[in-house]
Amino acid sequence: MEKAEAKTRIEELRNTLKEYNRRYYVDNSPVISDMEFDFLMHELETLEREWPEFYSPDSPTQRVGSDIEDNNKGGFVQRAHRYPMLSLSNTYSKEEIIEFASRADKILEGREFSYCCELKFDGTAICLSYSHGLLVRALTRGDGQKGDDVTTNARMISNIPQHLKGDYPEDLEIRGEVLMPYQAFDKLNEERIRQEEAPFANPRNAASGSLKLLDPQEVKKRGLYCTLYHIPAQSPAASLADSHSALLDKAAQWGLPISEHKRICRNIDEIIEFIDYWDVKRKELPYATDGIVIKINELDCQRDLGYTAKSPRWAVAYKFKAERACTKVLSIDYQVGRTGAITPVANLEPVLLAGTIVKRATLNNAEQMALMDIRINDSVYVEKGGEIIPKICGVELSLRPSDSRPAVFPSECPDCHSPLVKAEGEAKYFCPNSKLCPMQIKGRLLHFTSRKAMNILAGESTIEQLYNLGLAKSPADLYELTAPELLSLEGWKERSALRFLDSLRESKKVPFERVLFALGIRYVGEQTAKEIALHFGNMDKVLAAGEQELAEVKDVGDVIAQSICEFSADPQNRREVERLAASGLQMEVAEQAGKISEELAGKIIVISGNFSVSREEIKTLIERHGGKNSSSISSKTTFLLAGSKAGPEKIRKCEELNIPIINEEDFRKMLPEEMRKEEIVSELSLF
């Protein structure tokens, strides 16, 4: 390879890997497999060794992939790690494990040492700090030097202890992984699919996304689980033992969640035996693992081996190859969702994969179908591994029938036959016949009755029956059903009719934000509906709001604002809302529960920058004292609460509009005297 060619390829790989890192760590939506990413990284490492003149400290080979969002859009305060939080070098080759052991033996000059072999958990990294036995901080890996402060959310994970027990050290830092067990993952994805939201590809993405949610109570519902596996050798607590495994045993005695699946190995043969055992046995675990971590066990050896720019020299990860199978595409269905989105689904010849029979695989959209050129009767490779949702990852072209033809994405709705449309910038095609398309109508009814919306006892078969008989064409029709009507239907008994009508009556108590979510406005998810409801207070104000006013609400951008305005402008939608209101549904926000005072009543506050506590705690504080949070500066803003590194654009706009800018100290003086202290403010996050 010529020098110019090498430089071009290095730059190309760096840009590509940075983008893949962002998709993986920030968006929690990877676009390639771990193995494909690792191969690209190894190619870059090789080129940089061959052409050292192109060294760059910003190269992905020199930096840990960062989960910190640009401009801190995630709303979390960043704090520095006491000790760098690095990633592990990894390999798919047992020969490279032998090379790792040989290098360590050479550097340690023949000293005797052992290996601690552990499962490599497929989750998101976390660092916990305890002071005098109390949990005081939880940070994500971030960029290795600093991480997002997710302490409030970590407190919502049931097996992370708030207080240590026994003879614990005064100061302790311990690191590990936050996981989402398969059972919680399946439950979450089932709910997301019902709401026509994109399901998480795997438990790691779901765990990472859940840990960074802005609502701690929502984090609590996600069923996250933590396992801890490392106390930094340079930390004070490491002086309590001579080996890594002994430290972990002590941590377990202090009440910390330490994995029981570790083994001390004395040689390579024992390491390989451990790898081979868990490559099979891991399929029985209730959570995802993707490899084995091999660590030099003795802490003095770890200190002597030291670190590279991004990885410890005393540890390596062996990664399992993703399990895949080859099967045939029997047919392709095109499903119509409640928003009109058309989703292609491949029906497969049943195949056993990772312990389950796989029969279907979502193809996402027309672009993916065209990109992979998936055809009926093709033999395709289906992969799970860490991907719990079956994914077609390739076509075996050598087995393609000679008379095969490319799959043709439909030009009209498979249900109502309306011509499909595709908006600019969107990947999916949509059926525009939202008022008359049967699948869309039934989809909206199912969404309206779902647990997170109105929680009405009506499954798919009930909705199908009521729709086909003309008894329910819209949500408001449900509230006009009577017991005699229901008892006249096939399969309905007195008990089932009474339970259904009772659930309708109970749904009238559902708070306004869930009613707004239940309406099924395109792009308005559960959290967005809550923000809109809190901002406007009642349905009349939501329907009267313009795009600019809507766009000022947290989590609402131009696309969502436009969608809400289109909904509001439709006379049929307005009549539907009027009918629901007349049926007794909640159309305004109830008096805020748990309010402490009215000191900030009537004040619209925008916050920017970093504070002594997390932004979410500041926002909760504002709401609990009667104030309203807003995401952007407008003429209605009362003041900007500016922390360190406040956004210059927000400050400039405040100066233009003559809006006061106050700091955290002055803000606390507005609160009742007994609520001004930082430690009391922090307690609010636990409500």
CB count in 10 Å sphere of residue 519: 21
d(CA 215, CA 223): 14
Are 153 and 138 in contact by the 8 Å Cβ rule? The answer is yes
| Of 445, 453, 576, 456, residue with least CA distance to 504 | 456
Contact 227, 179 (CB under 8 A): yes
Please provide the distance, in angstroms rounded to a whole number, between the alpha carbons at the two ends of the chain: 61
- Residue 533, CB half-sphere, CA atoms under 13 Å: how many? 23
Round to whole Å and give the CA distance between 486 and 493: 8
DSSP 346: E
Q: What's the one-letter identity of residue 223? A: G
Pull the structure tokens for residue 176.
């590990």
Q: Which helix (H) or strand (E) holds 116?
A: strand 115-121
Output the DSSP codes for 160-224.
Answer: S-SB--SS--SEEEEEEEEE--HHHHHHHHHHHHHTTPPPPSSHHHHHHHHHT-S-HHHHHHTT-
- Confirm if 37 and 31 have CB atoms less than 8 A apart: no
Q: How far is CA 576 from CA 478, 535, 658, in A?
A: 12, 22, 42
Residue 611 has phi, psi (to 5 degrees) of -130, 180
Residue keyed to tokens 């790898």: 275
Question: Which residue has 């109830």 as its token pair?
Answer: 590
Separation of alpha carbons 263 and 498, rounded Å? 58
Tokens standing for 396? 């075996």
Residue type, 671: L
**Neighbour-count burial of 5, counting CB atoms closer than 10 A to its CB (0-12 exposed, 13-18 middle, 19+ buried):** exposed
Structure tokens at 300: 């003095």
Contacts of 419 (CB under 8 A, 6+ apart): 411, 412, 413, 432
d(CA 35, CA 58): 22
Please, are residues 353 and 382 in contact by the beta-carbon 8 Å criterion?
A: yes
Q: Which residue has the tokens 């009440």?
A: 255
Could you give the angle at the alpha carbon of 66 between the alpha carbons of 560 and 649, nearest 5°? Answer: 50
CB proximity list for 131: less than 8 A, separation 6 or greater: 170, 171, 172
Q: Report whether 446 contacts 452 (CB < 8 A).
A: no
**363: number of Cβ within 10 Å:** 22
Give the C-alpha separation, 337 to 386, whole Å.
27
Annotated catalytic residues are 120
